[in-house]
Structure 1
């Protein structure tokens, strides 16, 4: 019985010895490898035999080996109670059975130090390449996933008609103005002061250069806006369009004529969707934007779109623009109304639309905004020119420590007095062009509208007209093309690209991800529980 037990122990001892050394921590480094080589010298077999004999000597008391588990697979170390070695051993276990390529080369026995270094370098390079390509893919998705393409299905187009804005050179009531001069004393200095306040623009502020900075202190700057609103001229312009028959047939209200306060003073706007938000009455809460605002549209089947403005009484600058925009100080006027003139302009439209898929992207990805995506202080809705107006207001505040009175302020910022308006006149070029003294562009973070219509305007003809000033602007040729913004590189493409890259460099897959999560959650929990039980038994 003793002989049979010793033979069984001799057979069992080598396997136990190999099982104990099957995983050797990489942290031993070169000293551990050199020590193994010394142990593997000519006497290694004798030492192995001695170990077997020792096992045989106690074979009668030995029992069958326990089933293999995490603690058996992990390398055993003299300082296994140390937390650092416990963590390292668990990580070694993960590398040994992980499906991620490369880890198996680091846990294989009987390799030289240079082989370990070689595979570590290869894995680091593969990981770096995977991260670099994945980062490039994500950058493309987060910054430029859209594409602009041409759409030539002209029979399905619905093109928004142009809006027109007329800004009179004298936007105040001359009779009330003269009466005020007589009451306060008709002096040249007071005359210049009032006219500058009523026709306030960045360029007109230069008229105050010869006036004392303390002049006009009897009028508080915060009241300038209320005064010019009371003295404004209410123009009775007449707008007609070939689209009026469609509006009448469908029982819709006619497009509204709105008087607005802009960086060019008071202006009258027709066929516009956002003009109400530049109305001082709306700012003061005395009026609300209409719930239904009719706009003019053009279709392929409707033929030419003809529009005309009549009964113009004053010299004016005119702007023909998109119905979702308003002119600002940097806009170029397209119409100059003169005495007894009939002007005719041709208009060519180019519409830009955004698909439903692109609408779900973020503003940064689209590089454009919709009307409801406003981040502005001066308006609850967004437009490119509104954003530029706010940028000018902030620039004026930073340079002159005040803002002009023609902005929607609501008491947030100091309104410029004569001293402040002189400062604005000094920096008018910077404010209008939004460029600093070195001609560097000032960053305003103003994005275009996602859905908009751009217009190209040119003068078709002019003639003498004894029935007052009139302007006609016609869209005689319906657009044959529009620009569509769509998603070129979506989130599905991101998953495919990053997944393919991870699989190519590391052999990483969804199963590898699940395996990793499993190792750092459920299996780690039970591993810790088992270690604590073992420590209590010891």
Structure 2
């Protein structure tokens, strides 16, 4: 049997291929104009197929997710946002602790230093002026305790911050549900937050719907505080928006009315790669500061890494920072000298000094829009804060997958079938005609069948 040449194998494949049109190029007795016509048609078909497949892949890569507005709101249950309370000053506790540590009397400049360290806001100007490494003849008490010690001793407990809590005219135990949250601002107390120190804190149902109406939370608070209204995954930080913060002090009554917009995710969104959906789900995190991902948690982690990289320490209030990695006064000076570089965020395209983090938003974030704030003076020696949902939400955002992996496969298959008249098995044919068939033929020719023995 004559051995088939590559040319004859190719011709045999084109004559029998399920790709449409190719047999007209190699069939005998075809005029050259017919061959040319079909060569042009087949080439254009491949070009069109390639363009469509590229377009489908580009859409899959860059436009896999779409946002739509859902207005089927009649049966929605809307959860009240997280409310976090952080102390900002406590002079009585500071005086008691400094008397205990430094003795009475002592240099009362140390009281101001302790206040600056306990309620750290990113800069320690007063501390460095009195106790900095470059200060000559500084007070020997400057190094008496590690910096975190004062925070733990001065900060008020939950029972000393909350007088009462009322949800929709129903009073409840504040400190049973306001649980500790470790933040870069120090110890805070939050309700409805997923970032508490405990993995499974007690939950208090705070739901608004068409039956119950818009909910309200009334707090009576003691001392000087900052109150944050946030999403359940967010945390107070040095970069918190001013619109999220309510400054609270005794003898004041504050009413805040706000509206909520939530984001719902189609289940298939989780299967889309992070860089395509451009958001992260709570469990998609490897952070060492918080249990769940959020934009604010990512910001804290980014700032911590920058501090460790630049100064080989992080400031003493950063969550989950071992004592050996917390800054001493030399480290605090380094943080102060490089404040803009390691604490102030900037956009990647900006030329100013700052920190680029590239944090993605959370896929489950909520939008809390302030409608109005009312503030007035009262006679009581505590503060009253009324947080009220202004209205039930009438719309929410929904993140849908419009181009998943299956859609990509269908688009590619459709383009191939439309322009080439082919299927997946058509490409298997190439392997069959050009590789499998020659190999099988070679094996048949080289292995001779055994001769039959003649019967005697």
Report the CA distance between 1:338 and its aligned residue: 2.9
* SS of aligned partner of 2:116: helix
Q: 1:490 to 1:441 in 2, by over 3 A?
A: farther
- TM-score scaled by structure 2? 0.80
* SS of aligned partner of 2:158: coil
Structure 2 unaligned residues grouped into runs of 5+: 449-456
* Counterpart in the other structure of 1:55: none
* Counterpart in the other structure of 1:235: 158
Q: 1:136 to 1:423 in 2, by over 3 A?
A: farther
* Counterpart in the other structure of 2:80: 161
Tell which structure's C-alpha radius of gyration is larger. 1
* SS of aligned partner of 1:349: strand
Within 2, Cα distance between the matches of 1:509 and 1:367? 34
Q: Which residue of 339, 343, 350 maps to 1:428?
A: 339
Aligned residue runs from structure 1 range 4-403, under 5 A: 74-75=4-5, 90-91=9-10, 93-101=12-20, 103-104=22-23, 107=26, 126-170=45-89, 173-183=93-103, 186-187=106-107, 190-202=110-122, 204-210=123-129, 211-213=131-133, 218=143, 224-225=147-148, 227-236=150-159, 237-238=162-163, 240-243=165-168, 256-276=177-197, 288-290=198-200, 292-310=202-220, 312-333=221-242, 334-403=245-314
* SS of aligned partner of 1:452: coil
Contact 1:273/1:293 (8 A) holds in 2: no
Report the CA distance between 1:470 and its aligned residue: 1.3
Report the CA distance between 1:422 and its aligned residue: 2.2
Within 2, Cα distance between the matches of 1:341 and 1:461? 10
Contact 1:160/1:453 (8 A) holds in 2: no
- TM-score scaled by structure 1? 0.69
Report the CA distance between 1:475 and its aligned residue: 0.9
1:130-180 per-position Cα deviation (integer Å, ceiling 9, x unaligned): 334313312322342222111222221111102222222226832442224
1:463-509 per-position Cα deviation (integer Å, ceiling 9, x unaligned): 22122111111113111111111222334432332122223443332
Within 2, Cα distance between the matches of 1:529 and 1:452? 65
Within 1, Cα distance between the matches of 2:41 and 2:292? 55
* Counterpart in the other structure of 1:34: none
Within 2, Cα distance between the matches of 1:197 and 1:253? 27
The number of aligned residues is 434
Q: Cα RMSD (Å) of the superposition?
A: 3.8
1:340-369 per-position Cα deviation (integer Å, ceiling 9, x unaligned): 101111111111111223344333333222
Structure 1 unaligned residues grouped into runs of 5+: 1-65, 76-84, 277-287
Q: 1:121 to 1:194 in 2, by over 3 A?
A: farther
Report the CA distance between 1:387 and its aligned residue: 1.0
Within 2, Cα distance between the matches of 1:338 and 1:209? 29
1:253-306 per-position Cα deviation (integer Å, ceiling 9, x unaligned): 997112333222332222322233xxxxxxxxxxx4326533422111101311
* SS of aligned partner of 1:347: strand
Contact 1:306/1:472 (8 A) holds in 2: yes
User: Which structure ranks higher in relative contact order (CA pairs < 8 Å, sequence separation ≥ 6)?
Assistant: 2
* SS of aligned partner of 2:247: strand
Q: 1:244 to 1:356 in 2, by over 3 A?
A: farther
* Counterpart in the other structure of 1:510: 424
